[in-house]
Amino acid sequence: MTNTNMTPEQENAYYADPDNQTPQGPPVRRRAKLSQPVPVRFPEDLLSEVRSRAAADDRSVSNWIRRAVEHELTRGAS
């Protein structure tokens, strides 16, 4: 796929065509499986903002939070 500015709907339409389903490049190894869930509670207004930002990034809330934590850990290490 050459256009990275597609909406999720445009991506779905693009990949619905079998000609656009051929893997390209070397295989990508998935990361190790995740550990057990960690229960975390957020105030309702903060959770609402997290949900909004996750939706804007087309990610699940869990994935968005994981990436935010990874970003903070990387930022703190430098």
pLDDT digit string (tens) for 54-66?
Answer: 999 999 999 999 9
Residue showing tokens 């079998």 = 18
DSSP 58: T
pLDDT tens by residue, 18-44 = 888 888 888 888 777 888 999 999 999
Joined tokens for residue 37: 């869930």
pLDDT tens by residue, 41-53 = 999 999 999 999 9
The single-letter code of the amino acid at 39 is P
Q: Whole-angstrom Cα distance, residue 65 to residue 51?
A: 10
Q: Given a cut of 80, is residue 17 above it in pLDDT? A: yes
What angle, rounded to 10 degrees, do the helices at 61-77 and 44-56 form? 90
